[in-house]
Amino acid sequence: MRIRRLRVYFNTPEGLVKAVDNVELDVYEGEVLAIVGESGSGKSVLGLAILGLLPPNTIVEGSIIYDGVNLVELGENVFREIRGTGIAWIPQDTDASLNPVLKVGFQIAETPLEHGKLSRKLIWSFSEKLLESLGVKPPRLRAREYPHQLSGGMKQRVLVAIGVSGNPRLLIVDEPTKGVDVVRKRQLLNLLKNIKNSNPKLTILLITHDIPFIEELADRIAVMYCGQIAEISTRTRFFTKPLHPYSKMLLESLPNRGFKPIPGELPSMINPPRGCRFHPRCPHIMDTCRRLEPPLVEVDGNYVKCWKYASDQQ
């Protein structure tokens, strides 16, 4: 997937919210790409743009090329074909995302049924098999239960099962660890690792605040700041020598890496700072940073949007 000059703006009574602003990102087949950043930086909106699930008051510009097709220009009818089987997602809120009056096995079979990939006769055997592969025991019984009969961990597995039921090529997982305890977090991590191992071609876009969670899972990390990409780096680079001053501060704010809060606040998404959006909080600020937006430049195969690395372009 090739995302170019993507803008997602919301028309609100307060003004135009620039939730995603000029994002450039490639997503490679088979990789786990984590999107990290503070709350409100545009991570979920980017995911929703890829899924074509934005509300009507949205202005979308630029391109999201998936399999040679620009998703931004796609009608809902065609999008429905892609959603679930081409691109699927695992929502974060288990209770809000499951239908309380439908047996979970049926919910799991819904996507392949809708896309004509499964006959009605096979609903139960399909969902039992999938639940079994995700470590749900006993699958025959669980498939026939309603969501309220399942524990939190089981419900999360059911959501994962729904996400992978259409055998998608790209799976978007939004904040999988929000409100999840340490034990369930570990289970979820193992579950995602197993899914990846059994399907090396599957691409996962993992949207999260939880940086320690991605340390074992992500191949690359894209850092978002105020609707833009600040850095795209390999896992090793990001965790050992992050390029962007914001990435460095984000890592140093973690409890096991210094617990240093990032001073200042995320700026307004309606009137973002001129020049580099991070300049009001950056300890390395230079004159240019206040005046001009830095380009996204390549550094050893990684990418960073910062004048420190692009000074020859000033």
CB of 233 to ligand SF4, least distance (A): 15
CB of 255 to Mg ion, least distance (A): 21
Listing from the earlier edge strand, what are the strands of the sheet with 58-66? 15-26, 2-12, 58-66, 69-70
Nearer CB in complex with ligand SF4: 24/31: 24
Nearest Cα neighbor of 224 from 5, 90, 23, 32 is 23
Indicate which single residue of 2, 5, 12, 298 sits in contact with ligand ATP (rule: CB under 6 A): 12
CB of 283 to ligand SF4, least distance (A): 8
Restricting to residues 244-273, name those near ligand SF4 by CB under 6 A: 245
CA distance 256 to 114: 46
CA distance 149 to 104: 10
Restricting to residues 48-77, name those near ligand SF4 by CB under 6 A: none
Residue 283: left if φ>0, alpha if ψ -120 to 50, beta else—which one? alpha
Instruction: Answer with the entry of ligand SF4, Mg ion, ligand ATP, none that 289 interacts with (C-beta below 5 to 8 A by kind).
Output: ligand SF4
Indicate which single residue of 3, 45, 211, 297 sits in contact with ligand ATP (rule: CB under 6 A): 45
CA distance 40 to 26: 22
User: How long, in residues, is the chain?
Assistant: 314
CB of 174 to ligand ATP, least distance (A): 8
The radius of gyration of the chain's CA atoms, rounded to the nearest angstrom, is 20
Instruction: Answer with the entry of ligand ATP, ligand SF4, Mg ion, none that 191 interacts with (C-beta below 5 to 8 A by kind).
Output: none
Contact flag: residue 44 with Mg ion (CB under 5 A): yes
> What x-and-dash track marks residues 218-257 binding ligand ATP by CB under 6 A?
----------------------------------------
Indicate which single residue of 279, 296, 302, 303 sits in contact with ligand SF4 (rule: CB under 6 A): 279
Q: Which helix or strand (DSSP H or E) is residue 120 part of?
A: none
Q: How far is CA 25 from CA 51, 53, 56, 237, 241, in A?
A: 15, 19, 24, 17, 21
Residues that bind Mg ion in the complex, under the rule CB under 5 A = 44
